[in-house]
Amino acid sequence: MTAGRATPPLLKDLNERTVLEAIRAGAPISRAEISRRVGISKPTVSQALQSLLGAGLVREAERADDGPSYGATFFEPVPEAAFVLGLDLGARFVRGAVCDVRGDIRARQDVELAERTSDAALDAIESLARSLLDAVGASDDLVDSVVLGVPGAVDAASSRISLAENVVGLEDEDFHGELAGRLGLPVTIENDINLAALGERWRGIARGVDDFVFLSIGTGLGAGLVLRGELHRGHHGAAGELDFARVGLTEDIDPCAAAVSALARRLGVPAPHDPRTVFAAARTGDPSARAVVDEECRRIALHIVPLAAVTDVGLVVLGGGIGANGDLLYDGIRRHLRAWLPTPPRVEASSLGDAAVLTGGLAVGLRAARENVFVNRRAQRV
């Protein structure tokens, strides 16, 4: 069988993609530097640039430094070629941000939910989305997608939400279809902790790490698993639902906020018993509060052990309201892991905090937008 030769249109497409990626990675960059980096002749680079300029994907740019340019023209991507809207639906707030196709965040805003219902969430998201897009002057035709993080498992095929208890009605309706209809834009829904993991890999503590877990501990408990550089969602989109890891156990190993408060009452920590007050008391040296923290370290480590034993990840990133208390937790967690595992993972704090879910949503949308904007703009010129 004779292998088919690549056709000129296919080669043209490949050259344009290669040149565009070189510009995205090295902008502002000259024609000669593009040729040198990607190994394509200068005439071929010039032809690709002409097409990319005509499609509005790149533009001429000023050089970043004051060195000699020898008359060269420099190029950069057009950031406004496409926008991505990222959203994070929580129990009390909806957070939102818009980024351009270069990945720069153009606007950020949070709104409070009137009530913990799916109807209130839809109203808040619709209002927030319009406000953010108006703020950056992005018309709907320039918005490639909307990516929403929700507190529940999401079926990849149907976008149906399950295991979501914080927002009433989120599981019982076609939330995805209703939201897409209201916004008139393509919508992707993903578990919020999964997006937090992807956010940390894009711009957080897990940059460059291919195998890690994002463990969120707050009012609930969840994990986002990144294996071989890709999000692991599982067969039903429910990978990382650690609340079910305790099924059948008689020992209470819950590390979440309510459990911290219960521990504080049982161990005699002075009221109030909310986690913030308990951790503050531990910082002042209160022995009862310190005992709560020690038990919390043990419980968190008990949840990390099976994850690390099965996946052998190199890093665990802690987030959420409880996980943010790293100055009190990390030494104890690491001590337990060293005692229980032959090769314990590194344990670090989330570097993105409350912005982790939003950042992950933008990362997911941006990955698709960069491909879509190339295909769509190029198709318009054919």
Return the pLDDT at 165: 81
Residue 304's domain spans which residues? Answer: 205-351
**Domain finish residue from 37, 58, 77:** 77
Return the pLDDT at 277: 96
Distance separating alpha carbons of residues 30 and 51, to the nearest angstrom: 16
Q: Is residue 324 in some structural domain?
A: yes
Q: Is residue 1 in some structural domain?
A: no
Locate 42 and state its tokens.
């200068």
Single out the residue of 97, 183, 86, 77 nearest to residue 140, CA to CA: 183
Q: Is residue 106 in some structural domain?
A: yes
Q: Is residue 2 in some structural domain?
A: no
Return the pLDDT at 65: 65
pLDDT digits (tens, 9 = 90+) for 22-31: 999 999 999 9
Q: Is residue 216 in some structural domain?
A: yes
Return the pLDDT at 1: 47
Residues 225 and 323 in one domain: yes
Q: In Å, how far are 15, 162, 236, 243, 355 from 88, measured between CA atoms?
A: 37, 17, 21, 21, 9
Return the pLDDT at 9: 83
Return the pLDDT at 173: 72
Q: Is residue 96 in some structural domain?
A: yes
Q: Is residue 251 in some structural domain?
A: yes
Residues 164 and 257 in one domain: no
Return the pLDDT at 161: 93
Residues 336 and 223 in one domain: yes
Single out the residue of 47, 38, 42 nearest to residue 72, CA to CA: 42
Q: Is residue 3 in some structural domain?
A: no
333 touches 301 (CB < 8 A) = yes
Return the pLDDT at 157: 86
Return the pLDDT at 249: 84
Residues 281 and 307 in one domain: yes
Tell me if residue 131 falls in helix, strand or coil: helix
Instruction: Say how many domains are in the chain.
Output: 3
CATH number at residue 55: 1.10.10.10
Return the pLDDT at 95: 97
Q: Which residues of the chain, if any, have pLDDT below 70? A: 1-7, 64-70, 172, 378-382
Return the pLDDT at 62: 85
CATH number at residue 288: 3.30.420.40
Predicted TM-score of the model (pTM): 0.90
pLDDT digits (tens, 9 = 90+) for 334-361: 999 999 999 999 999 999 999 999 999 9
